[in-house]
A and B are shown apart, each in its own frame.
Chain A
Amino acid sequence: MRVAVLGLGAVGKGLLRMLAAKPELGFVLTAAADSSSARIDPEGLDPAGILDTKCATGRCGVSGLTAADVIASGAFDVLVELTPTNALTGEPALTHIRSALNQGKHVVTSNKGPIAADYAGLAALAEDAGVALRYEATVGGAIPVIHAIRDGLAGNRFSSITGVLNGTCNYILTRMDDEGLTYEQALAEARELGYAEADPTYDVRGIDAAIKLVILANTCWNLGVTLDDVAITGIDGLTVDALRLAADQDCTIRLIGEVAPAENLLRVAPRVLPRNHPLVIEGTLNAVMLSTDMAGEVTLMGKGAGSVETASAIIGDLIAIRDRYAECE
């Protein structure tokens, strides 16, 4: 199966590293693009060589060639869209994904923007074209939550999904709880360790978690909701005293995304949880709890970010597409 990769940030590099390290997976890289260059070879590119070029020059290929040229070349079966996320417009990924689907190409993405912005539209495009649109890497990093909803727990009726969907917030709250740090101190520490961005607004105000919640809600129930439908409260107003008062009751505080369609509930907010609750996890980990009619409660927990961890989710999607469409090739 031929694979084209758009975007060579941390996730794109992680994916190329794994494609180089695991030739037995059988994927052929035929195109790669970053923000200023691209390379296309229908016969196949060497992922390790692309990585070396990217590291040495900052570019992966020929300047003048772009992501749009890669898509137009049609020299691939699956487009892997890994460009930076724009939470508001979903661009440029949205255009990339639409063009690929319109050409009858499968799409795998780690990009939350387009999936949250227009899931229904993209899913309809994919269905009309008879191709797959997969986005396991958009929620919970390495945790196969979308696979669990679609395949592992297929046939169940879901009543709610709750989860810790943002590792930065979970790290900050873990540190406030364990060490009695103030919010500002814990945030500064998270920045130093590279867990929080220079502008942490998107994480600490709960927006990132809300986007992931939207993706889960639309995947599980086809609710057709957007970011505007989520009631969002971040963690930036929390005090050390709040963590202490929770601790007095053998509880702690975590930022929880919660969707329960029957109760009309779609919200992200800091919540008090008993310490032994399955969603009370440490550090930058993520966790998702699915409530179902047959399986009862199923909780998945794991690394919510990281380049190779995210590559794991992308490769899982690629293999799922190959397994399903193998006969058509």
Chain B
Amino acid sequence: MKLEMKDSPGQLVAALTPISEYGGNIIAVIHQREPESSSDTLGVQIVLEIVQERLDALVGAIKLQGVSILRLGEERLLYRQSVIMIGHLIHTDIGDTIGRIDATGFAEVAELNVHMPAIAEPSTALITIKATTRSEMRRALDLLRMIATEKGLLIVEPLGGTEA
């Protein structure tokens, strides 16, 4: 997500401290010098990753530090989960498998690593799915399981669930 704020002295540090406290991952800090703005307030953009559930708490904590947030732009797909798929992945139309996950609108296939040992032997793939929330990840995995049953594929899921 993108967080925009005014840049007055001490504000940047005040805004950054809670981000790490709440387990956020800072990707970039961008200063934007706008010509019309007065010398003591500069726009600052912070781009960071954080799980949805902690977002409100983080915004509250930043405000508590006396930082005023001008704008908050959210992106999605913050949960990732990798599962292993075994079977005739290509011949059962891998494009369709990926397409059906992507078509949900709340989850998408972010990575696919396929090993094909020999013709007519089952292939093995590591498929990484991204989703917005934990429950949507669960729905995406339910869908993947359904596709696997339909196409006769074996799915090996991680124990203990989703990483944020």
Q: Note whether A and B form a binding pair.
A: yes
A interface residue numbers (CB < 8 A to B): 162, 233, 237-239, 241-242, 244-246, 248-249, 251, 253, 256, 258, 269-273, 277, 279
Distance to closest chain B CB from A311 (angstroms)? 32
Describe A's contact surface by its main secondary structure: mixed
User: Closest residue of chain A to B115, judged by CB?
Assistant: A241
> Do A245 and B84 touch across chains, with their CB atoms under 8 A apart?
yes
Instruction: Please indicate which of the listed interface residues B86, B87, B122, B159 has the most CB atoms of chain A within 10 Å of its own CB.
Output: B159
In the bound complex, residues from chain B placing their C-beta under 8 Å from that of A272 are 82-84, 156-159
In the bound complex, residues from chain A placing their C-beta under 8 Å from that of B158 are 251, 271-273
Distance to closest chain A CB from B160 (angstroms)? 8
> Do B159 and A242 touch across chains, with their CB atoms under 8 A apart?
no
Q: How big is chain B's contact interface, by range?
A: 10 to 19
B100-124 CB contacts (< 8 Å) to partner A? 113, 115, 117, 122-124
> Do B122 and A239 touch across chains, with their CB atoms under 8 A apart?
yes
Describe B's contact surface by its main secondary structure: strand
Given A239-B86, A242-B124, A245-B84, 15 more A-B residue pairs with CB atoms under 8 Å apart are A233-B154, A238-B156, A241-B115, A242-B156, A245-B113, A245-B124, A253-B156, A269-B157, A271-B157, A271-B158, A272-B82, A272-B156, A273-B158, A277-B160, A279-B159
> Do A239 and B117 touch across chains, with their CB atoms under 8 A apart?
yes
B interface residue numbers (CB < 8 A to A): 82-84, 86-87, 113, 115, 117, 122-126, 154, 156-160
> Do A256 and B159 touch across chains, with their CB atoms under 8 A apart?
yes
Please give me the 6 A-B residue pairs with the lowest Cβ-Cβ distance, nearest first: A241-B124, A241-B115, A271-B159, A272-B158, A245-B126, A237-B154
8 contacts between A and B (CB under 8 A): A238-B86, A241-B117, A242-B156, A244-B115, A245-B125, A246-B84, A271-B156, A272-B83
In the bound complex, residues from chain B placing their C-beta under 8 Å from that of A273 are 158-160
User: Closest residue of chain B to A245, judged by CB?
Assistant: B126
Distance to closest chain A CB from B116 (angstroms)? 9
